[in-house]
Amino acid sequence: MSNILKAFINIVNNYQVGIKEVTNGNNRANNMGEGLENYIKNAFADNFKENDIAKQKSNIRNTFSYIGTKNNPPDIILKKGDAIEVKKVETIGTLQFNSSHPKAKLKSNNSKIKIECKRCGDGNWIEKDILYSIGHIPKETNKLKSLWFVYGTCYAADENVYQNIENKIKAELNNIDGFDANTNELGRVNNIDSLDITYLRIRGMWVIKHPAKVFNDLDKEKEKQFNLIAIIPLNKYNNFPKNDKDEIEKNTLIKVQDEIISDPNNAAKEMHIKLLLFKS
């Protein structure tokens, strides 16, 4: 089974920074985003050196139990493994999550995930670790400048922290005539005009700082042409197969460091992590 350590090694051993554009329409941002997602899939499926299209597709099917759609999280799920969300940015600033808040874990009772995701072949799962894969592709280029892999428990607070805010907003909006809270968004206002043909969708826009901003004290080296970083909870790292850990730790191109970050639920509490760094 694949995991973040295998993907990390595959990227290091098959160093590529060009993201192949997906020729699907004229929207470059969408094309680059799809290209990055394919890059991430190929890293986990060990497809970088595979030229046979049929074999590539077979590797993808053997690696992932679910491949999602643009409007429903997550983007992909590893067989008997983590959920992966892929984010593309053109500058190092913030990430937009639209109406779905950042997640520490992916839970099967989430109303925004599809039934196919809940029945993706991993049994009756309740929650999965979620891995954010954030690629920086500067504007007007197809070059991957940096790629961060960050586990949700290191990056986002528990679900109730965000849900409490949404509930407070909905409670205030409930005073508006025609307000309907039974949506996957913040709500909807019906019966606006005399003909009752107009309604207002109320959507949130969750935004979170890029990991390079959040964890800027961990990466003390200067940026190079390509920067690959992974932040993994220590207990998660310790449970990976020994062969995968040995391959990472014996590779002289990769720095493996024990670090401490602040717990997203309590900044006064420590969280122990493994930091993986590759720069070229």
Q: Is the pLDDT of residue 259 over 60?
A: yes
Residue type, 185: E
Question: What kind and span of H or E run contains 170?
Answer: helix 159-173
- Domain residue ranges in the chain: 4-158+205-279
Given pLDDT bands bounded at 50, 70 and 90, which one contains residue 99?
A: confident
Identify which of 8-17, 166-175, 237-246 has the greatest average pLDDT.
Answer: 237-246
Over pLDDT 90: what percentage of the chain?
72
At residue 18, the pLDDT reads 66
pLDDT band at 168 (very low <50, low <70, confident <90, very high): very high
Q: Are 100 and 206 in contact (CB under 8 A)?
A: yes
**3-class DSSP assignment, residue 183:** coil
Q: Is the pLDDT of residue 11 over 70?
A: yes
More confident position, 117 or 133:
133
Q: Which helix (H) or strand (E) holds 83?
A: strand 83-89
d(CA 196, CA 190): 8
- Give residue-wise pLDDT tens across range 31-74: 677 889 999 999 999 999 999 999 999 999 999 999 987 777 89
Q: Are 174 and 181 in contact (CB under 8 A)?
A: yes
CA dihedral 144, 280, 44, 86 (to 10 degrees): -30
**C-alpha–C-alpha distance, residues 103 and 109, integer Å:** 13
Closest C-alpha among 132, 143, 136, 149 to residue 21: 143
Alpha-carbon span 149 to 133, nearest angstrom: 5
Contact 262, 270 (CB under 8 A): yes
Share of the chain above pLDDT 70, in %: 94
Q: What is the mean pLDDT of residues 115-144?
A: 88
Residue 168 backbone dihedrals phi, psi, to 5 degrees = -65, -40
270 in Cβ contact with 215 (< 8 Å):
no
Q: What's the CA gap between 192 and 177, in Å, rounded?
A: 9
Please give the structure tokens belonging to residue 67. Answer: 């491949």
Structure tokens at 116: 């196919």
Q: Which residue has the tokens 């990430």?
A: 95
Q: Categorize the per-residue pLDDT at 117 as very low, low, confident or very high, splitting at 50, 70 and 90.
A: confident
